[in-house]
Structure 1
Amino acid sequence: MSTFNGLPAHVLFVHFIVALAPLTALLAILCAVWPAARQRLVWLVLALSLIVTVLTPLTTEAGEWLEDKVGRSPLIEAHAEIGDTMLFFSLALLVGAVLLAVIHVSAARGRAVSSVLAAVVAVFVVVAGVATIVQVYRIGDSGAKATWSQIA
């Protein structure tokens, strides 16, 4: 999809990523460090992380289409390169959400979850979550610079 209602699809998809990826990361971190939150939010986190993972390649594909339309510049190419890395962060967030769900289901079935395993998963989720938030900021900043430098 290259346009939606006359607007470049990239512009629309970006807003989903900018809102959902950090929100999902924060909720995943909350679930990782607070078991009571995990009981209530784990399935939401899993669903949101799946949505972010699906939207990420759609956003980058739409961005490549837009790049072809507006022309290449060093700033746009830098934004595209860093934007292509977002899939790795989305996948890490999804893996973290899956691990949280596995821990949740195991605990709900009365299986003891090793505290070492729970700690490793928590560290992974916190690192993936913080990295995702930072990467969304970096990608957005480079996109804003690429966009607004052509207007100014």
Structure 2
Amino acid sequence: MPELITGLPLHPLIVHFVVVLLPIASLGAILTAVWPAVRRRFGWLTVAAAAVATALVPVATTSGENLETGLGGGNPLIDRHQELADIMIWWALGLTVSVAALMIVHTMSERQTRTPAAPEIDDGGGSVATETMTATKRSTGLTVALVVAMLATVGLSIGTGIHIYRVGDAGARTVWQDVGENLK
């Protein structure tokens, strides 16, 4: 993996993708969990956003380790940032799995509640048979699974949002600590 892109360290470039995409995925996951209309329209997009953000987390941590090596170790602020960043993958992965599970259960539930009825009989006059949809009752198992997936998604979304803030705050303090002291 390259350490520099057009003369800039790769780490801050990749980190900004993660810092923007993970909170968007977290907010989208909460909305997907609690609002059925959002779930139907944007649920799979939320899964994709969470998956891309999760895939970028290891890139960000690896590029951060490369940057630390280039700068020389021994800074306790960098060490704290790195400790928090190493945990980020688990939060991101949990969010991705929970929102994906929510969407799988939702899709199964939607398919079960909308079953096609028998087509109308062609009377020989050239009319085309059409299918109508009839609503059926959702099974208790799918309802329980949907509620559990919704709760897990909301909990992991909140946890992911809090943790990405903690990682970002530790990183910002590492970079900007001296600047703030010099402005006083």
8 Å Cα contact 2:22-2:161 kept in structure 1: yes
Match of 2:162 in 1: 134
8 Å Cα contact 2:99-2:149 kept in structure 1: no
**TM-score, length-scaled by structure 1:** 0.94
Structure 2 regions of 5+ residues with no counterpart?
Answer: 114-137
Structure 1 stretches of 4+ moved >3 Å: none
Equivalent of 1:149 in 160, 177, 180: 177
The structure whose Rg is larger is 2
CA drift of 1:149 comes to 2.3
- CA offsets per residue over residues 50-103 of structure 1, 9 Å max, x none? 101110000000000001111220110110111111000110011112112212
Match of 1:3 in 2: 4
- CA offsets per residue over residues 6-50 of structure 1, 9 Å max, x none? 111110011111110011011011111111110001110111111
CA drift of 1:147 comes to 1.0
**Root mean square deviation of aligned Cα:** 1.3
Q: Number of aligned pairs?
A: 152
Equivalent of 2:108 in 82, 106, 129: 106
8 Å Cα contact 1:42-1:104 kept in structure 2: no
Please give the secondary structure, in 2, of the residue aligned with 1:85: helix
Structure with bigger helix share is: 1
* Matched AA of 1:140: G
Structure 1 regions of 5+ residues with no counterpart?
Answer: none
8 Å Cα contact 2:23-2:161 kept in structure 1: yes
Identify the structure with bigger relative contact order (alpha carbons < 8 Å, sequence gap 6+): 1
Q: In structure 2, what is the Cα distance between the partners aligned to 1:115 and 1:38?
A: 15
Match of 2:25 in 1: 24
- CA offsets per residue over residues 109-144 of structure 1, 9 Å max, x none? 125353322221111001100001100100011001
**Structure 2 residue 87 is the aligned partner of structure 1 residue 85:** yes
Percentage of identical aligned residues: 39
